[in-house]
Amino acid sequence: MRTLRTRLGFDQRELQSRRAFFDIQDEDLARLAELRELALKHMDDINEEFYTHLLSHPETKRFFPDDATIRRVKRLQREYFLGLFEGRCDLEYVENRLRVGAAHEQIGMSPRWYIGAYRKYLSQLLDRFTNELPVGEGRIGYDSVLKLIMFDMSLAIDAYIAANLETLGRHQAAIRELSTPVIKVQDRILLLPLIGAIDSQRAQQVMETVLLRVIEEKAKVMIIDIAGVPVVDTKVADHLMKTTAAMRLVGAQTILTGISAQVARTIIQLGVDISAMPTLARLQDGIELALSMLGQQITKAST
């Protein structure tokens, strides 16, 4: 399993440039390490206050359904909080923060809520720093922690978007599968009922899916039924011809069925030549043709 960091292409160079942009100097990190004492002292009250805030809003409360969850996230939150005061901001730190973003995507908490939560943190820190540190020191310390928290936020959002895109990719793969439902009619005969519009992206998916299925099933004939395709124009006809040509290269024949009167008229009027494949009006005739190509025929089952 590759780390989130490498999946996002986050390397030493990216770390340098981002640290530079967020103006995180070594002095900032050293200062935060010095504030660790103070952080430890307030860790628990800050944490309690933080969760009181989150649990008092229905939008965020729903992410913490039971006490066990709350105990677990409180523990994680303490780790996160102390991480700010360790005086480091290296690649391991980055990996750690990216996980936070990915975890939020997983539970479905979108950035607007945790950006709001970060705000709460900052307020609390500002409050403790102003109350317990000399004026100048408090301000400088707050500036350092602000830099690191903003840096964390940028990482969490990166990870959130990446995880979101991956989820989207999985959904699209599922939709792809649903939009090209290849059915095995009989040994060595496959059927693809095409339903809905066909653009070039879908046409490519169709071609890839049928090629894979033909090889998997060692099919000889692929019936493509286009009764459910609303518009058959030159482009769609071209895609169908290409699929037929690809089928031929792997040694399978294509039969096109579901040609309505309207489609027949369009194809001829557009001057599209689809004579390379047998075409029929009815799917049932297509299946019979496919069987005869394999030297078989439909016989009534004797009961």
Partner 1 sequence: MVETVQSWEVPIAREDDIVLVRRKARALAQERGFDAFAAAALTTAASELARNVWVHAGGGKAIIEELTDGYRTGIRMTFVDEGPGITDVERVLQGGFSTARSLGLGVSGTRRLVEEFDLQTAPGRGTRVVIVKWTRF
Partner 2 sequence: MNAHGPIPILRVGSNLLTTVHIDLHDTVAEAFQQDVLLAIERTGATGLVIDITGLEEVDTYVARILADTGRMAKLMGAQTVVVGMRPEVAATLIRMGYMMEGVETALDVDEGLTLLIERQAKKRRST
**From partner 1, partner 2, none, which one binds at residue 172 (CB under 5 to 8 Å depending on kind)?**
partner 1
**Measured from the CB atom, is 3 or 186 closer to partner 1?**
3
Smallest distance from partner 1 to CB 46, Å: 32
Should residue 161 be labelled a site residue for partner 1 when binding is judged by CB under 8 A?
A: yes
Nearest Cα neighbor of 147 from 246, 45, 19 is 19
Compare residues 14 and 132 and give the one whose CB is closer to partner 1: 14
Q: Please tell me whether residue 133 adopts helix, strand or coil conformation.
A: coil
Binding segment for partner 1 (CB under 8 A), chosen from 32-40, 69-77, 161-169, 229-237, is: 161-169
Residues 178-207 that bind partner 1 (CB under 8 A): none
Q: Which stretch binds partner 1 (CB under 8 A): 8-16, 64-72, 144-152, 191-199?
A: 8-16
For residue 90, state whether it binds partner 1 (rule: CB under 8 A): no
212 vs 231 by CB, closer to partner 1: 212
Q: Which is nearer to partner 1, 158 or 225 (CB)?
A: 158
Contact 159, 105 (CB under 8 A): yes
Binding residues for partner 1, total number by CB under 8 A: 13
β-strand partners of 184: 190
Q: Is 69 in the site for partner 1 (CB under 8 A)?
A: no
Name the amino acid, one letter, at 136: G
294, with CB counted inside 10 A (0-12, 13-18, 19+), is middle
Single residue of 162, 195, 274, 293 touching partner 1 by CB under 8 A = 162
DSSP calls for 33-96: HHTHHHHHHHHHHHHHHHHHHHHTSHHHHTT--SHHHHHHHHHHHHHHHHHTTSS--SHHHHHH
Under the rule (CB under 8 A), what is the footprint of partner 2?
204, 207-208, 211-212, 214-215, 218, 220, 242, 245-246, 248-252
Q: Whole-angstrom Cα distance, residue 251 to residue 244? A: 11
If we measure between CA atoms, which residue out of 196, 157, 74 comes closest to residue 66? Answer: 74
By CB under 8 A, tell whether 169 contacts partner 1: yes
Tell me whether strands 189-195 and 253-257 are parallel, antiparallel or unpaired.
Answer: unpaired
106 is a contact residue toward partner 1 (CB under 8 A): no
Q: Which among 217, 223, 221, 230 is positioned nearest to 263, based on CA atoms?
A: 230
d(CA 246, CA 209): 11
- 146 forms part of the interface with partner 1 (CB under 8 A): no
By CB under 8 A, is residue 20 in contact with partner 1? no
7 or 120, CB closer to partner 1?
7
Chain contacts with partner 1 (rule: CB under 8 A): 8-9, 11, 14, 158, 161-162, 165-166, 168-169, 172, 208
